[in-house]
Amino acid sequence: MRVVSVCSSSKANCTYIESGGTGFLVDVGCSYKMLCDGLKMADRDISCVKAVFITHEHTDHINGLLMLTKKLAVPVYASEGTLGMILAKNKASAGADLRLINDLGNAPVNVSVTAFHTPHDSAESVCYTFRDPENKIAVCTDLGHVTPEVRENLTGSRFVLIEANYDPEMMTRNLTYPYELKQRIRSDRGHLSNGDCAAFARELVASGTVSLLLGHLSQNNNTPEIAVRTVENALSTSGAVRGRDYILDAAAVVGSGKAIAV
């Protein structure tokens, strides 16, 4: 499988995955133009996209869905709660092929797709794992804490795009964020901090994960350098060595077009 992070931040999220010549997206939080440009940088065209899997209805995950469904006739999968919000917000074209996640077995992709619920302040957020005969990969962001369901589904994944949203000290010092917003982000239905991500990363690497991509970093309360250092330091305490036992990087706010081979 190939993974391309088209964009990843608190403002826009979209990941392109390809297996056996068939491509698909997890979320469409960027504009249609940005999506097309991102795919072009990875030597792919929008016509490569055969399905879309939505995690939840927040703008940074569906902002480009309306235009995409106007331009491209592909099925869009989401939970019942999320689909309801997409329809209520008019975030998909009138003719969009919207499907529930209980129909994932019929998705036109060359992988087995599993959706699992995540704790986030949305109608019914989910994340996804994708499995082919050789590998299992996961895309999991926007979760206030690691639940048993999240742990069960991510364990054993070779590649994981996992959230490292904020550095607690940076957010504490951030005077532009009101107290209520900080509390929402820190809550069990908010986002994972760098430290929370690092603790879970130790479990993942111990279970066989060899590639970690840190995503959904806040531009105001985090930096790629701090997030990567926090996770690497935590893994080193368990004896894991970066570059030998695992690969670690942070997804760019706007992707570089670099494809990760899994």
Q: Give per-residue pLDDT as tens, 148-160.
A: 999 999 999 999 9
Q: Is residue 255 pLDDT above 90, yes or no?
A: no
Cα–Cα distance between 245 and 206 in angstroms, integer? 10
Q: What is the mean pLDDT of residues 16-27?
A: 96
3-state secondary structure of 99: strand
Cα–Cα distance between 93 and 62 in angstroms, integer? 12
Question: Phi and psi of 126, rounded to 5°?
Answer: -135, 165
Q: Looking at domain 2-261, does it have CATH number 3.40.50.2300?
A: no
Structure tokens at 143: 């979760």
DSSP 8-class letter at 130: E
Percent of residues, the chain, with pLDDT higher than 90: 95
Predicted local distance difference test score (pLDDT) of residue 104: 97
Confidence of residue 233 (pLDDT cuts 50, 70, 90): very high
Host H or E run for residue 114: strand 112-117
Residue listed under structure tokens 């077995």: 105
Mean pLDDT of the chain: 96
pTM of the model: 0.96
3-state secondary structure of 255: coil
Q: Which residue has the higher pLDDT, 136 or 252?
A: 136
Cα–Cα distance between 48 and 244 in angstroms, integer? 33
Q: Is residue 239 pLDDT above 90, yes or no?
A: yes
Predicted local distance difference test score (pLDDT) of residue 252: 87
